[in-house]
A and B are shown apart, each in its own frame.
Chain A
Amino acid sequence: MKLNVSPAIVLHHTNYGEADRIVTLLTPDNGRIKGFARNARKSRKRFGAALETFAEVQLHWTQRPGSGLVTFQEAELVSLRAGLRTDLDTLALAGYGCELTGVLFDETVGAAETFSLLKAFLDHLDVNGASDEARLLLELRLLSLSGYVPHLQHCAACDADLPAGPVGFSAARNGSLCEACGGGRMTLQVDRMTLGTLGRILQTPLNHFEGFRLSPLTRREGLALMAETLRHHLPSPLKSQSFMTALDSADES
């Protein structure tokens, strides 16, 4: 059996039986891989902290032809990203990023870009902590990589230029809508400046997270637009999203 070696980021793991783990990772060349790590919980010798969520590792694995699960031989820890685990909002957003990446990742498009995006996102949070900007950048770029990015700066129905001020947005109709195409009747209204900012973000390199300062209005509208678009494309709400909602409601009470 061929031994594969590649950098990988741990997206998720579930405990299996007494001592084993099933781990899902993202790699730049082989996309998403899922495998069985025998004794990963009891014995620290073989994998140590390398198979913890968010960790980046140099992974060695084999795969039987026709088998969905790979077998991990070794995982050398490259970065644990311990900073993600020192603040609850940061940890929750990192978890959301991993889940969203796993759900939106499309096997047919470049895994390398997705890997580079997630790596930069986690590295950024590891140092700077959670922010609306980081979340917005990740969501927008993941949507773009999976081909779901909506029409932003022109009407999705007739391609007309959009007027200054509030513009109607509908994920079901694939983007912004001019007045003639029914934009005024949409519940979600977003300022044209916000749409312009989102459009400009899409022109920036995937792995740049530093130095984005967005106004409170842009952040609020941008996140609402992303939420509406993701709701439309995702088969079901993300678990990490309900977790973040539970945190928010606990803080309020």
Chain B
Amino acid sequence: MLDSIPSFTRLVTELTKFPGIGSKTATRLAFFLLRQTSAEAEALAGAILDLKRHTRFCSVCYHITESDPCQICTDSARDDRLLCVVETPQDLLAVERSHSFRGRYHVLHGALSPLDGIGPNDLKIPELLQRLQPGEIDEVLVATNFTVEGDATALYLARQIQQSGIRVTRLAYGIPMGSELEYVDEATVNRAIEGRRKID
């Protein structure tokens, strides 16, 4: 029935390309847009176009930015001697939300994966190693995911960076805040026991 409205079908097709959006949700969203005013629809279309026109990757840290270098790289209040390495811009935002890190960042845009054939040169790893001039950085905090790929990346970076005398650290494993021990998987409990700390 909707096939007779090509512009509607086209929008539904575009919306189903979004992550997690099936054809049912896409149809519902399309009906929602249909009911919006022209001004509202143009604002949405304009925002999408602006995003594509004005954003790029920062040439220093490879985070998403409108100005190059990005705000984080140019913020004079941040600690130049501390660098946090993350897999994706979303991970950078997750670390920022914690308000507990005041150094700079480097976004790898992925993780090493033996089974997918993703090696160091497929990521922003050469660019990272290039950034690490001896004497300028004290510590690299590797904040990759706790997956096989995240572990592989952390091991690789430790191997490459430690030889230049820079300290390499990794986020601690642990029990999620607010969770009950009984429901935490044994691998996490295992790592949390290994990483136990003295209460002071």
Write the residues of chain A forming the contact surface with B, with a CB cutoff of 8 angstroms.
12, 14, 17-19, 44-45, 48-50, 52-54, 77, 80, 82, 85-88, 91-92, 95-96, 98-99, 239-240, 242-244, 246-247, 250-251
Contacts and interface: CB of A to CB of B under 8 A. Distances in A.
A69 B19 CA distance: 20
B5 interface: no
The 3 residue pairs across chains A and B that have the minimum distance between CB atoms: A239-B117, A95-B114, A246-B119
Given A53-B148, A246-B121, A240 B114 contact: yes
A54 to B, nearest CB: 7
Interface of B: 19-20, 112-121, 147-148, 151-152, 155-156, 159-160, 183, 185-188, 190-191
B187 A80 contact: yes
Contact of B115 (A17, A50, A88, A98): A98
Given A48-B185, A49-B187, A250-B160, A91 B119 contact: no
B19 A12 contact: no
A153 B160 CA distance: 43
User: Chain A CB within 10 Å — which of B19, B160, B185 has the most?
Assistant: B185
Given A49-B188, A246-B121, A88 B159 contact: yes
Contacts of B185: 44, 48-50, 77
Contacts of A87: 155
Contact of A242 (B117, B159, B183): B117
Given A44-B185, A53-B115, A239-B114, 9 more contacts: A48-B187, A49-B185, A50-B185, A53-B148, A54-B148, A77-B186, A85-B152, A243-B119, A250-B120
Contacts of A92: 114, 152
Contact of A12 (B115, B147, B186, B191): B115
Given A19-B20, A45-B183, A82 B190 contact: yes
Interface of A is mostly: helix
Contacts of A243: 112-114, 117-119
Contacts of B115: 12, 53, 95, 98-99, 239-240
B147 A17 contact: no
A58 to B, nearest CB: 13
B184 to A, nearest CB: 8
A82 B187 contact: yes
Contact of A77 (B114, B160, B183, B187): B187
Nearest to A246: B119
A246 B147 CA distance: 20
A247 B156 contact: yes
B170 to A, nearest CB: 12
A240 B117 contact: yes
Nearest to A95: B114
Contacts of B191: 82
A48 B146 CA distance: 12
Contacts of B118: 243
25 contacts: A12-B115, A14-B116, A17-B20, A48-B187, A49-B188, A50-B185, A53-B115, A77-B185, A77-B186, A77-B187, A82-B190, A85-B152, A86-B155, A88-B156, A91-B114, A91-B152, A91-B155, A92-B114, A92-B152, A95-B114, A239-B114, A242-B119, A243-B112, A243-B119, A250-B156
